[in-house]
Structure 1
Amino acid sequence: MNMWFQNAPAFTNFLLYVVFAALLLFAVLGFVTYAILAERKVMAFMQLRHGPSHVGGKWGLLQTVADVLKLLIKEDTIPKVADRPLFILAPVIAFAPSFLVLAVIPFTDNFQFADIGVALLYYIGVSGLSTIGIIAAGWASNNKYSLIGGMRAAAQMISYEIPLVMSLVGVILLAGSLNLNDIVAAQENMWFIVYQPVAFLVFLIAAVAELNRTPFDLPEAESELVAGYHVEFSGFRWAFFMLSEYVYLFAMAAITTVLFLGGWLPLPFLGFIPGAVWFSIKFMMVVFLLLWIRFTFPRIRADQLMEFGWKVLLPVALANIFVTALVKGLLG
């Protein structure tokens, strides 16, 4: 997309970016709508249950649309003792970074909003800002359960952010760049998942924890007395927190495709298939894997979650950095 805007006047350039940003937003919202439906249908298939089947015909295709309408008309309550400005702003703070990170992801070789030299650092830095929204939600509610839930969610996200970032160092060493286009180009002969299988596993596990999904969904565990940091939120404010989770699912699947699966690059003998199709296929494979994990593993305890992050994932990620640097140094 940068190529399309090179010769455009500044104002026209701005309008084009606004239009494409709006289109991407609607595409992501469409993904979220039917990712939720797909999740429930695939979960039902794997667990021999019935999924949504009452709204939108036999397949329940309008079930998520009906859920969104229900949330839109649901009563919006704000506790009297809440910090009102922060309570209103917290869902937006949690959601905005999940969409902003999409700006640097190269979906194809000519469709990317911002091709910056440190795109990977941008993704890591901006994605971490959602933690502020979670803490703000717990604090603004003026509810001790919400505050504890917010603190626990922040502790989990920060803890798993470290091994997630460490797992990417091997990819950076192999590509020699923080630019996502360069990382894709470096996988022309072989995808990095082949050279970095340990890094991929660490990244995937840490990503599940970052997304607050089962088996690491303690910040919003349904089996607890309260829902965690967003227990006081209702209607569409609550939906914003759920929306951010699924937009991050989109972003995490996309960045995984770029970092480990060669992005839009085709298999050598199938080069006639467009890059956008390849990216979509790999992307949906990652999304399905993330859904599969949720349906398969039981939730773990909070102490097990923290211990696994610090005592298992972090040492493994550091060992992978050492081995990758050693091999790269020996082989030149």
Structure 2
Amino acid sequence: MIAAQSLGPTLEDFGNDPVWIVIVKAVLIFVVLVLLTLFNIWFERRVVGRMQHRLGPNVNGPFGLLQSLADGAKLMFKEDLIPKAADKIVFLLAPVIIVVPAFVTWSVIPFGPEVNFFGHQTPLQLTDMPVAVIFVLAIASIGIYGIVLGGWSSGSTYSLLGGLRSSAQMISYEVSMSLALVSVFLYAGTMSTSEIVNAQAGGTVDLFGTGIEVNMPGWFGLLLLPSFIIYVISMVGETNRAPFDLPEAEGELVGGFHTEYSGIKFAFFFLAEYINMATVAALATTLFLGGWRAPFPFSMIDGANEGYWPVLWFFGKVIAFIFMFVWLRGTLPRLRYDQFMAFGWKVLIPVSLVWMMAVATIRLARNDGDLNPTYLIIAAVLVIGLAALLFFAADGDAKDKYLENERKLAREAERDPDDAFAGGFPVPPMPAGGAVRGAAAPLEFNQGRTTVTGSAGEEK
């Protein structure tokens, strides 16, 4: 037997707050995001330091917690430079364009249920709307303009290339991310963030018929596992984080789109990146991990989903995603750009489309009352089989191209073995013994007089 749990706020509970409560909520969200950014920077440096067998920041403040604040203060008072070739107005506006949407997206993120807030009953959420998730995606997309315009306005080739890479990368992975979210909309029947959290309330389950009732969550991360996996991969690409940090590839583009930025403008780019990390983590928590609801086994405790306790569960899940970001950065090498784009368009998007159609079919059958567990098994097998087929087909195609290229180089080398540039490698061979056609003649130094020895040994 499954008994429904008490639900949280719905759309009707929003829009009734006094203006002063709305202002206090907005200020609190701003302060929380700034403090969360300072913590995330410290957390990332400590975790990566631990992975690399070093300490990380440990001097400024207890456990080095004030190191991020010190770095921010340094950037605040650092000399601000503007390149001579830059478009000054766009150059100054680009950091603002990227950082403002990063804060705005949190206006529809639910932190908890209704609470007593300064004597007024109000949800722990600034606002909500019927298309809240679409609102988050739309506002987050504006941040792309900040990166593209920042790279273009710098007057630097490296910055321009970083901006172009970022626009192509973020748009591509937004497609797969959006398709992954469609399955959630179909299953929840709404696009409101608060009502999606309510749809994952789960219920009390009789454990194996023993009479022991267990409060089990109905997280979409378990029910819609392929959507969850696709979203997690897409959100790493969307935020330009390692191993997908191609717009900031130091080995190729110096620093990418923000190469020419310094001082507080560079800090804005940094701030936006870490807030966007928290945003996609909060969206994953809301849509797939039950939002502010307590995880099992804490959900068995009476009152775990009441009052201000849900704020703890919410930020615990968000920080778990942040740890995943740091873990990926510390363990995986950066991908090649063509591999990364091919993976998005040839693997993630097709799998997302097939899975979306499978979920739509299952929901239609369930609404008509004809749902059979056999349909679920068949659909799951088909989706997994198609995903494996696409993956191995793409992998086999890449291997075939690589082997064909190797055979082509080998044939060229066999046709002209003495050619220093045979096979397409522009590195002449070192002279060894006799003369090699195509190689530079060796130099000899004789009493301050430089001579060149030819193939016949004569002095030239």
**Normalized against structure 1, the TM-score is what?**
0.93
Q: Give the Cα separation in 2 of the matches to 1:175 and 1:129.
A: 27
Query: Deviation of residue 313 (structure 1)?
Result: 0.8
Is structure 2 residue 303 aligned with structure 1 residue 272? Answer: yes
The one-character-per-residue Cα deviations of 1:203-255 (angstroms, maximum 9, x if unpaired) are 01110011110000011123334211111111110111110000111111111
Q: Give the Cα separation in 1 of the matches to 2:357 and 2:87.
A: 47
The answer for the alignment partner of 2:327 in structure 1 is: 292
Query: Deviation of residue 5 (structure 1)?
Result: 6.9
The one-character-per-residue Cα deviations of 1:149-194 (angstroms, maximum 9, x if unpaired) are 1111111000100000000011010001111111111111110011
Q: Cα–Cα, structure 1 residues 7 and 67, in superposed 2: closer, same or farther, change >3 Å? A: closer
In the alignment, structure 2 segments of 5+ residues that lack a partner are 1-8, 114-122, 203-217, 368-460
Is structure 2 residue 288 aligned with structure 1 residue 283? Answer: no
Pairing 1:207-246 to 2, within 5 Å after superposition: 207-246=235-274
Q: Cα–Cα, structure 1 residues 284 and 271, in superposed 2: closer, same or farther, change >3 Å? A: farther
Counterpart code for 1:292: W
Q: Give the Cα separation in 1 of the matches to 2:343 and 2:253.
A: 25
The answer for the alignment partner of 1:6 in structure 2 is: 16
In the alignment, structure 1 segments of 5+ residues that lack a partner are none
What percentage of residue pairs aligned between the two structures are identical?
A: 41
Counterpart code for 1:269: M
Structure with a larger share of its residues in helix: 1
> Do the aligned partners of 2:39 and 2:68 also contact (CA within 8 Å) in 1?
yes
Query: Deviation of residue 46 (structure 1)?
Result: 2.2
Q: Give the Cα separation in 2 of the matches to 1:263 and 1:148.
A: 38
Stretch deviating more after TM superposition (259-268 or 183-192) = 259-268
Is structure 2 residue 201 aligned with structure 1 residue 188? Answer: yes
1:128 is paired with a residue of what secondary structure?
Answer: helix
**Normalized against structure 2, the TM-score is what?**
0.68
Is structure 2 residue 158 aligned with structure 1 residue 153? Answer: no
Is structure 2 residue 56 aligned with structure 1 residue 16? Answer: no
Q: Cα–Cα, structure 1 residues 275 and 54, in superposed 2: closer, same or farther, change >3 Å? A: closer
The answer for the alignment partner of 2:146 in structure 1 is: 133
Pairing 1:191-202 to 2, within 5 Å after superposition: 191-202=219-230
Stretch deviating more after TM superposition (163-172 or 15-24) = 15-24
The answer for the alignment partner of 2:105 in structure 1 is: 101
Q: Give the Cα separation in 1 of the matches to 2:175 and 2:125.
A: 27
User: Radius of gyration: which is bigger?
Assistant: 2
Q: Cα–Cα, structure 1 residues 4 and 94, in superposed 2: closer, same or farther, change >3 Å? A: closer
The answer for the alignment partner of 2:349 in structure 1 is: 314
Q: Give the Cα separation in 2 of the matches to 1:19 and 1:197.
A: 37
Stretch deviating more after TM superposition (139-148 or 210-219) = 139-148
The answer for the alignment partner of 1:83 in structure 2 is: 87
- The CA RMSD over aligned residues, in Å, is 1.7
Q: Give the Cα separation in 1 of the matches to 2:313 and 2:145.
A: 35
Q: Give the Cα separation in 1 of the matches to 2:288 and 2:302.
A: 19
The one-character-per-residue Cα deviations of 1:86-143 (angstroms, maximum 9, x if unpaired) are 1110000011111110011111121111111100110111100001111110121122
Which of 359, 369, 389 is matched with 1:324 structurally?
359
Q: Give the Cα separation in 2 of the matches to 1:186 and 1:225.
A: 45
> Do the aligned partners of 2:15 and 2:127 also contact (CA within 8 Å) in 1?
no
Counterpart code for 2:275: V
Q: Find runs of 4+ consecutive structure 1 residues off by over 4 angstroms.
A: 1-5
Query: Deviation of residue 259 (structure 1)?
Result: 0.2
Query: Deviation of residue 3 (structure 1)?
Result: 5.5
Structure with a larger share of its residues in strand: 2
Aligned residues: 326
The one-character-per-residue Cα deviations of 1:68-93 (angstroms, maximum 9, x if unpaired) are 11111111001122111111100000
Q: Give the Cα separation in 2 of the matches to 1:270 and 1:310.
A: 45
Q: Cα–Cα, structure 1 residues 115 and 67, in superposed 2: closer, same or farther, change >3 Å? A: same
